[in-house]
Structures are given as structure tokens and as C-alpha cells.
Amino acid sequence: MLYKCIIVDDNEIERDALEMHLKKIPSLEIVKVCTNAIEAASILSNTDIEIVFSDIDMPELSGTSLLKIIKQKPLFIFITSHSQYAVESYDLDAIDFVVKPATFERVLKATNKAIEYLELKKQFINDGTDHSQSKNDQKDFFYFKETKGISKLKYDDVIYIESMGDFSKLFTSSDKHIILVSLKNLEKQLPKEIFARVHKQYIININHIATLTNHEVHLDFNFVVPISSANRQELMENSIDKKILSRFTK
């Protein structure tokens, strides 16, 4: 199946480089290459587009402003030189954020994430089932629905969870599961003494932390996820500091 996409970037060199990358991905159909967000807005109002690869810092209308003004919102993958826009892009539920220069491997990873989301949405969005779990029902495990049916998982088996827009991807030591619950809603339901938000796109099981650096959390089974400075401070204050061995005892 082909997924229709457009490119939006005012820089000709970077626009051409991205187009070259996307042409290597057989599941994509490039409908239009736009030189600005105003042109893209016109295309999006008249054409069914599933994925938008957009720069953010553009004259007259930015990529994030483009996402805000359009009514029918396709998946947005922002590709920009300015990493400070990451928080805003995730607040707008962009499916991914790529920092330039965008390598083919990184663009492919973002594209696969978007396609996985689109395919899952087709499978799940119309089933009418409530996939969330009440806090009152929580013990040391929870149930969730995936393509093969209802699954049960212990909290301790969860290493980390990654946002996929309306869905979340949950990782264990040997497997991954897709849950039809957003990361925002999962955060409200998971026990806070076990799970912590470390990034706009990630929740971790704090019992699986192996090493904590300024910018990354290294988890058991060689998983690594990014951590924001604000979330790192909160994690230290609420969890890590309380467990650090003291040099002195009374």
C-alpha cells in the first residue's frame, strides 16, 4: 500500500535531500514538494495526505503553525535544524521530530513509525472497545487489547513505553506491544511509584534504570531513551535521591 505524503521546506538543498531519501522508501507516494507552508496548507485542504514531512522555521507561516491551522490533520514528522522546537512539536502530537541533517536511516525510522501508526489505526479505531484500565482495578498487572486479543502483563515486565500519537508502544525484555491508549492517558493510569515520564515521548519503569546521565536513561536489557532536563530533575527528586546510598550514617 502506498501512503501519500508531502514535503514542506523553504531550503532548496535540504528539500531536495529529503525528497531523495523519501524516494527510496517504496511505501511512500510523494504528492507534492512545497517550498513554503502556505502552499502546503492549500494542498492539505484539497488533497487527502497521510504524512507531512515539514520544516518548522519558515517565513510567513511556520511548520507548527501549519499543523495548528489545518482542520483534517495528517501525521506530521518535523525535520528541523532547531532542537528547541521539540517540546512544542510533541505538544502538538507530531508523530516524530528529526534534527537536521536528516540521514536516510533516521528518516526511514520516522516513516516506519508513522506507517505503523496508520496501520494500527485502521485495525483498532472502529472497534468501540475501551482499552483503558481503571486505577481501582490495578494490582501488580494490567490487561490491554492488541491485534491478537486481550493480553495480561505484569508491571515489572514493562521496561519502557513510547508514544505513537493516539497509541503507545510498550517494550518488555523480549517483545513489544501496541496499546490503543495515548501516552498521556497511560501516565494517568500507571502507578507513579513504578513509572515515570522522562520525555514527551517516553515513560520508563524506574526499577529498570541501570544508568542515568544528563541526557539519557540506560535501562536493563540495553534499552536507552532520552530524558529532558526538567524530567531528570523530577526523577531525581521523587525517586533516585531517596535511594542513593549516603556516605555518612547517623
Whole-angstrom distance, CA of residue 211 vs CA of residue 104: 30
**Rounded-to-integer distance, Cα 30 and Cα 52, Å:** 10
Q: What is the CATH number of the domain that holds 21?
A: 3.40.50.2300
Backbone angles phi, psi at 174, to 5 degrees: -135, 0
Out of 124, 146, 164, pick the residue that ends a domain: 124
Measured CA to CA, the distance from residue 250 to residue 248 in angstroms comes to 7
Here the CATH number for the domain that contains residue 233 is: 2.40.50.1020
Q: Per residue in 89-101, pLDDT tens?
A: 877 888 899 999 9
What does the block give as the cell for 239?
525517586
Range of the domain at 66: 3-124
42-57 pLDDT, tens per residue? 999 999 999 999 999 9
Helix H or strand E segment including 86: helix 86-91
Residue 60 in any domain: the answer is yes
Same domain flag for 93 and 115: yes
Confidence band, pLDDT 50/70/90 cuts, at residue 136: very low
Question: What is the total count of domains within the chain?
Answer: 2
- Looking at 97, 124, 151, which one is the last position of a domain? 124
**Is residue 55 assigned to a domain?**
yes
Residues 23 and 85 in one domain: yes
pLDDT at 134 (0 to 100): 42
Rg from Cα positions in the chain:
20
Rounded CA separation 85/94 (Å)? 11
Q: Are residues 57 and 148 in the same domain?
A: no
230-234 LR contacts (CB < 8 Å, sep 24+): 231/196, 231/197, 231/198, 231/199, 232/198, 234/196
Confidence of residue 229 (pLDDT cuts 50, 70, 90): confident
In this structure, are 117 and 8 located in the same domain? yes
Contacts of 54 (CB under 8 A, 6+ apart): 7, 8, 9, 37, 40, 63, 66, 67, 76, 77, 78, 79
Residue 14 included in any domain? yes
| Residue 248 belongs to a domain | no
Residue 92 lies in a domain: yes
Calculate the average pLDDT of the chain. 88
* 73, 91, 124 - which closes a domain: 124
